[in-house]
Amino acid sequence: MKRYEALAADIEESIRAGVLRPGDRLPSVRHTCASRKLSASTVFQAFYLLEARGLIRARERSGYYVCAVVGQAPPEPDHVSAPQDASVALDVSELVFGVLESSMSREVVPFGSAFPAPNLFPLQRLGRSLATAARMLQPRDTVDDLTQGHAALRRQIALRYLADGINVQADDVVITNGALEALNLCLAVATRPGDTVLIESPTFYAALQALERLGLHAVEVPTHPRDGMDLAALEHAIQRHQPRACWLMPNFQNPLGSLMPLEKKQALVALLAQHQIPLIEDDVYAQLYFGKSRPLPAKAYDTEGLVMHCCSFSKSLAPGYRIGWAVPGRYTREVARLKLSTTLSTPTPTQLALVDYLEHGGFDKHLRQLRQALATRLSQFTQAVARYFPEGTRATRPSGGYFLWVELPAGCDALALHRQALAQGISLAPGPIFSASRAFTHCIRLNYGHDWNERTEAALARLGALAAAQLGPRAEPYQP
Amino acid sequence: MKRYEALAADIEESIRAGVLRPGDRLPSVRHTCASRKLSASTVFQAFYLLEARGLIRARERSGYYVCAVVGQAPPEPDHVSAPQDASVALDVSELVFGVLESSMSREVVPFGSAFPAPNLFPLQRLGRSLATAARMLQPRDTVDDLTQGHAALRRQIALRYLADGINVQADDVVITNGALEALNLCLAVATRPGDTVLIESPTFYAALQALERLGLHAVEVPTHPRDGMDLAALEHAIQRHQPRACWLMPNFQNPLGSLMPLEKKQALVALLAQHQIPLIEDDVYAQLYFGKSRPLPAKAYDTEGLVMHCCSFSKSLAPGYRIGWAVPGRYTREVARLKLSTTLSTPTPTQLALVDYLEHGGFDKHLRQLRQALATRLSQFTQAVARYFPEGTRATRPSGGYFLWVELPAGCDALALHRQALAQGISLAPGPIFSASRAFTHCIRLNYGHDWNERTEAALARLGALAAAQLGPRAEPYQP
């Protein structure tokens, strides 16, 4: 992290923690230079960054002030979810497909999208790496290393784990067609039809679909929108339901954006190890952190090979390249074999392109820009939700990723809102698609990872008005 | 087909049919020019081609003679297989993986490989298409058309069906990660665990693995090494076992190389339609024909949308790119959805590269060269098998693809031969991996699609000697 970024992160933390409050004046540039032993230009860069994120604002001849950001954000949802304590067969896939397929048009405002704006990614630079890879491709490359993926790419991935202090070697990695294939392979290897799997509540809809397809039962475990699955509830569910696996997302969970603290991850891994339950860890958003460093995955605490860590470059670098991977611990051979007999291998040219990019492309610089763009959009988005959504609306404050989880006032109907908004050219992801019991009927997931402009703001205003209209004639948009 | 190729095909057919026999003198060039109304250079080109394929030979000042090719080829296996008439659960995946994994080294002579030599493919030219695609890639391309694959590629594929007189539109196509994913998706959509599926005997081992993974039962149907599945036996199996699907490979079957005649394909489709049984048609070798034109798939006769046609570019153009597709008829939507929830989508850059190549790359010219190379290698290979393998050996005479099915004399043990050969740096595919009942214990599949050179010939000689040694001290290599 560069010096100005470190300074900005410190100030941001002070704002988030309430040390600096809305309306407070920041220490002057001169003062900050002296106290921090930094150049004026570094301090200015930090202030510009915070201003771009909507956290501070300059006042003419008076210095920088903390914006009313905290006041302008809707209150956070602050209760753990309360799913029913039962092992249920799944029947939500039709609903999920219906919602996803209805939202695919290029014309809609993509609040329902699962992807951030594709223009956030270095596709031109990747294209050069692809051209290089194509030129260097040896015929034998197309038939070598079929099982686990190309050795050079696995090595690059292992190097990044090493940099994060996680013990993963190249031979532990199985390259897949995106993280979705990795997750599906791990689930299929860890379970047999009829088994029970523990999931978060709400949970990523693809997990629900995978369970349904494999004939598995789900137990939804109470989950907090800020720090993830409740471990006491998890322990209870283990005792009661004898699950065969647990699938979750400790970092920037989809749809909540929740982040499980380190000690909690450690306790999670220990608890599952005690019962010898494999953990399928979906970690695709880890690189999109707004804090100081990549939050460690649960895999970092795995001493028994029970954590099946799944990841990809689709959300951090190369959408459309479909390169993901699994680090399946003691299940590595089984996962590799299942991959070999279902999709054989991941394409060679795209794997080699990523090797070239990771070696020469400037991945870390790209990631810094990407994180900053997403953090800025989150701030703009949150403020607009506060401005345009009806009173009683709550919204999460994710510290990474690009999803905002919005709890509308009781009485709102997310599925109806989905249909109404779509008729006006706006997509969203309604809460029930994230739940085996179609709960979260008044919740929606909004994607803030797209361009922020007048059209976006108008669409959010429209959405807020539609939600307010659902509450009857007396409900008015919230005016702070 | 060019004129000289048409002439060569006619002469070849006369040789294969026994009209021209080994030792016969071909009509002179002058005579052929007059009777066919062709230029001398066209006739010479045809003769050179036949010579390259090992079918005719020039004698000084005397003209061209038919080689002793028929005499030099081992006799053909001429009986339909006789699997047990039972619906069985599968338990061969471990055996298959064991054999495949043991054969993966780069150093072995790859008679056991499932791929032809990668140097037969225009990888440099494809690389230029990939570079072009990377330059033209629009960010939106990475999130558009996720479900069925890129529209431009589906259109190119539909154009090729059109050229072959098969009614397939772009919207009927689902792009997949190779044909293997297409086949697995189709099987999963057409069946539920516990169902029975009809397969060939022997059959492609990936079909056995797919059935095993999905908890399906298999009925192996008697199959002839020349013209494929026996339809009377198929009808009997339908009556007796109420299958939910049928999976087969009418064109250049793996491992037999058998080719189902057109009328038989038509009867096959009609029989299955009568019982409303979906046909999963694996057609990945169709472009590798040595005859006059692409043998039509069963799909060409499908009027009810019951044929799920699966194909790819992996064997004809672009190994390692992992681009295949399904044309699943009435199951298209279900197949697309299953793909969406298991691997999401096929990579964008490689799809766009194939679009560029198919538009500008010279696919048909490449295919002509590829077919000619494979036909030549088949001839060389067959003659060497005749020379070096023990008496009593039979070998198929495929008219396409790159697999030779060899029936060794009774008493040979293919699995033992696999181990013995591997110890000497030679791989092969032993018969039992192609059978639910581990039958075909004295059969092997050999890949003739690799370079023919002294090392290849020496390896075949070694293999023949190992087989002879299995028969005891009195068995000698066959000397014609």
In whole angstroms, what is the distance from residue A81 CA to residue A407 CA? 12
Contacts of A206 in chain B (CB under 8 A): 341
Q: Assess contact for B370 and B288: CB atoms under 8 A.
A: yes
Q: Which of A143, A184, A204 to mutate to test the interface with B (most CBs of B within 10 A)?
A: A143
Grouping H, G, I as helix, E, B as strand and the rest as coil, residue A301 is helix
Q: A257: how many CB neighbours lie within 10 A of its CB?
A: 25
What letter represents residue A443's amino acid?
A: C
CA–CA separation, A30 vs A42, rounded Å?
A: 11
Nearest to A131 among B130, B181, B323 (CB): B130
Query: Cβ contact (<8 Å) for A142 and B320?
Result: yes
Residues in chain A within 8 Å Cβ distance of B451: none
Of B459, B452, B292, whose CA–CA distance to B373 is shortest? B452
pTM greater than 0.90: no
Q: How far is CA B90 from CA A402, B164, B207, B438, B439, in A?
A: 45, 37, 11, 10, 13
- The contacts of residue B344 (CB under 8 Å, 6+ apart) are A177, A178, A180, A181, A322, B146
Query: Locate tokens 């790209």: which residue?
Result: A366
pLDDT at A12: 83
Locate all alpha helices (DSSP H) within A64-112, ordered by sequence: 69-72, 93-102
Residue A474 has a pLDDT of 60
Alpha-carbon gap, residue A336 to A342, rounded angstroms: 10
In order of A162, A269, B287, B409, the CA distances from A167 in angstroms are: 6, 15, 47, 53
Q: Splitting chain B (480 residues) into consecutive groups of 10 residues, what average pLDDT does each group show?
A: 86 77 83 90 88 77 73 84 93 90 86 92 94 87 82 95 93 97 98 97 96 96 97 98 98 97 97 98 96 92 97 95 97 95 93 96 93 89 93 94 97 96 96 95 97 95 97 61
pLDDT score, position B63: 86
Please answer yes or no on whether B343 and A178 come within 8 Å at the CB atom.
Answer: yes
Determine phi and psi for B310, rounding to 5 degrees.
-120, 135
The CA-based angle A415-A418-A420, given to 5 degrees, is 110
Q: Where are the domains of chain B?
A: 3-72, 88-119+365-470, 122-361
Q: Is A343 in contact with B346 (Cβ distance < 8 A)?
A: no
So what's the pLDDT on residue B189? 98
Alpha-carbon distance values, B284 to A140, A252, B402 (Å)? 21, 42, 12
Distance CA B398, CA B225 (A): 9
d(CA A26, CA A336): 54
Residue range A3-72 in CATH 1.20.200.10? no
Interchain pair A209, B341: CB under 8 A: yes
Distances (CA, A) of B283 to A453, B299, B314: 50, 10, 12
Chain B: residue nearest A336 by CA? B97
**DSSP states of A269-290:** HHHHHHTT--EEEE-TTTT-BS
CB contact under 8 A, B349 and A321: yes
Sign, CA torsion A404/A405/A408/A409: negative
With 0-12 CB in 10 A as exposed, 13-18 as middle and 19+ as buried, what is B79? exposed
| Chain A residues close to B212, C-beta within 8 Å | none
Query: What number does CATH give the domain B88-119+365-470?
Result: 3.90.1150.10
> How far B172 CA lies from chain A's nearest CA (Å)?
17
Give the gyration radius of chain A's Cα atoms: 23
Q: What is the pLDDT of residue B480?
A: 43
> What type of residue sits at position A421?
A
Please state which of the four CATH numbers 3.20.20.70, 3.50.50.60, 3.40.50.1970, 3.40.640.10 is assigned to the domain occupying B122-361. Answer: 3.40.640.10
Top residue of B101, B333, B337, B342 to mutate, by most chain A CBs within 10 Å, is B342
At B179, the amino acid letter reads A
Residue A475 has a CB neighbour count (10 Å cut-off) of: 17
pLDDT tens string, chain A, 480 residues long: the values are 788 888 988 888 788 766 787 778 888 888 899 988 999 999 998 988 888 677 888 877 788 888 755 447 898 998 999 999 999 999 999 999 988 888 888 889 999 999 999 999 999 999 999 999 988 888 888 777 778 999 999 999 999 999 999 999 999 999 999 999 999 999 999 999 999 999 999 999 999 999 999 999 999 999 999 999 999 999 999 999 999 999 999 999 999 999 999 999 999 999 999 999 999 999 999 999 988 789 999 999 999 999 999 999 999 999 999 999 999 999 999 999 999 999 999 999 999 999 999 999 899 999 999 998 998 899 889 989 999 999 999 999 899 999 999 999 999 999 999 999 999 999 999 999 999 999 999 999 999 999 999 999 999 999 999 999 999 876 555 554
CB pairs under 8 A between A and B: 179
Taking CA atoms, B53 is separated from B29, B49, B56, in Å, by 18, 6, 8
Q: Which two tokens stand for residue A75?
A: 């209150």
Query: Which of A107, A113, A119, A142 should one mutate to test binding to chain B, selecting the residue with the greatest count of B CBs within 10 A?
Result: A142
Q: d(Cα A196, Cα A436) in Å, to the nearest integer?
A: 13
The alpha carbon of residue A387 is apart from the nearest alpha carbon of chain B, in Å, by 30
Query: What ipTM goes with this model?
Result: 0.86
Identify which of B108, B106, B97 has the alpha carbon closest to the alpha carbon of residue B422.
B108
- Render pLDDT for A427-462 as a digit per residue (tens, 0 to 9): 999 999 999 999 999 999 999 999 999 999 999 999
Long-range contacts of A56-59 (CB under 8 A, 24+ apart): A56/A11, A56/A15, A56/A26
Look at B123 and A101 and tell me if their CB atoms are within 8 Å: no
Phi, psi of B325 (to 5 degrees): -160, 160
Give the distance from residue B304's alpha carbon to the nearest chain A alpha carbon, in angstroms.
25
Distance from CA of residue A116 to its chain's centroid? 10
> Which tokens belong to A410?
């009781």
End-to-end CA distance of chain B: 36
pLDDT at A17: 66
CATH 3.40.640.10 is held by the domain A122-363: yes
Q: Do domains B3-72 and B122-361 have the same CATH topology?
A: no
Retrieve residue A459's tokens: 């669409």
Report the alpha-carbon distance of residue B262 to residue B269 in Å, rounded: 11
Torsion, Cα B262 B267 B273 B277, to 10 degrees, reads -90
Cα–Cα distance for residue pair B68/B73, rounded to 1 Å: 9
From chain B, the residues in CB contact with A346 under 8 A are 177, 322
pLDDT for the residue A113: 92
